[in-house]
Amino acid sequence: MKKNTARGFAVAKRSYIPRCIGLSVGFAAVYFALPEPQASTQTIALLVVYCFGWPHLAIVRALFSAAPAKTERANLLIDAFAVGFFSGLIGINPLPSLAITIMVSMNSIAAGGPRLLATGGLFTLTGLGLSLLIFSPDILWATTPGQMNACIPLLVLYPLSLGYACYLTAIKLAQSKNELRILSTIDFLTGLKNRKAVNDLLTTHLDAGRVGLGTSVVALIDVDHFKKINDQHGHLAGDNVLEQLGRIMLSCVREQDTVGRFGGDEFCVILRDVEPNQAKLILERIRATAELSEVSGVPKLPTTLSVGASIYNDASLTVTKWLSRADTALYESKHEGRNRVTFANS
């Protein structure tokens, strides 16, 4: 419900500036097309109130409504009715009537598509019929040069303002899409890359060029006896352990390296352009730092790690096989007593 309300506010705000501009320049198009019998003080006052007061009332109506989007659609139907009414007032003068009708139609189709456009058309016809019934104006089929000039600002400025509003909307949508794309690659608990993102990085890493990748290392890391930690200290403590270990790993690797969470208590580390001895030092530093660390709120809680690593040294190696080798080395670490780093045999 809150999301719908926020979306409705956005729709109402996007309509505000184009409505202000459109009705301001539309005032001249209608004013200079008013035939003498209809150019009374009352009709001009009505035109002024609508063109310069209604945009502000419309935005207030929408923003203070429980359903802003629905209220804004109602505002657009009021616009459609007004267009018909003022078109009748000026004797359906072709160019001014067409200009103001197109302005409102562009709003309607942008906000609600063909359905709102069709409904708005009915409101326009209703407004037109009421105006013709009240004022019985002469039908004017010719547009004078002065009336034509009065329509030019409307025909130029309003499409530009609507186009700019659409541009801003497109920018926001692109930003939201990019944010969602980034969020889809992040593990919600640790803030590290998630499993899919790590797999994608490994695939990209291999596809980028296999020459020289023999100095790259992938490591799988398990938290020793993690189930016991959850059982004895609770899942909140377990989450704290995972968050803390994520920070430790990030602090131990280099800028070009990647740390990700594979799920549960398993992590993955990608070391790029690294010599085997340097890779061992980095992974040992992760293991030793984790062993010496204390979890916030649970002092003296042991957090040892088992690490299995594999060096890329085979041009035909796939991501699956590379990870499988690291997983085999991880199993050896556990089998040998845990809390150790094991490299897969080449």
Please write the tens of the pLDDT for every residue from 134-145. Answer: 999 888 888 889
Tell me, yes or no, whether 218 and 335 share the same domain: yes
How does pLDDT run across 69-98, given as a tens digit for each residue? 889 899 999 999 999 999 999 999 999 999
For residue 188, being part of any structural domain is answered with: no
For residue 249, being part of any structural domain is answered with: yes
How does pLDDT run across 267-299, given as a tens digit for each residue? 999 998 888 999 999 999 999 999 988 777 666
Tell me, yes or no, whether 206 and 168 share the same domain: no
- Residue keyed to tokens 């310069």: 52
Task: Check pLDDT > 50 for residue 3.
Answer: no
Tell me the C-alpha distance between 222 and 304, whole Å: 9
Tell me, yes or no, whether 157 and 250 share the same domain: no
Q: What is the DSSP string of 227-273?
A: HHHHHHH-HHHHHHHHHHHHHHHHHHS-TT-EEEEEETTEEEEEE-S
Using alpha carbons, select from 283, 302, 306 the residue that is nearest to residue 293. Answer: 302
Tell me, yes or no, whether 300 and 323 share the same domain: yes
Boundary (domain end) residue, out of 182, 210, 234: 182
Give the pLDDT band of residue 183 (cuts 50, 70, 90): confident
Reported pTM = 0.61
- For position 2, what pLDDT does the model report? 47
Tell me, yes or no, whether 36 and 64 share the same domain: yes
For residue 189, being part of any structural domain is answered with: no
Tell me, yes or no, whether 159 and 199 share the same domain: no
Q: How many CB atoms lie within 10 A of CB 47?
A: 20
How does pLDDT run across 187-201, given as a tens digit for each residue? 989 999 999 999 988
- Residue range 42-55: average pLDDT? 95
Tell me, yes or no, whether 75 and 111 share the same domain: yes
Tell me, yes or no, whether 38 and 173 share the same domain: yes
Parent domain of 142: 2-182
Tell me, yes or no, whether 82 and 213 share the same domain: no
Per the prediction, the chain carries an average pLDDT of 88
Angle at 280 between CA 286 and CA 254, to 5 degrees: 60
**36-to-101, 135, 146, 149 alpha-carbon distances in Å:** 22, 12, 15, 19
Question: Is the CA virtual torsion 119, 125, 126, 127 positive or negative?
Answer: positive
Beta bridge partners of 342: 308
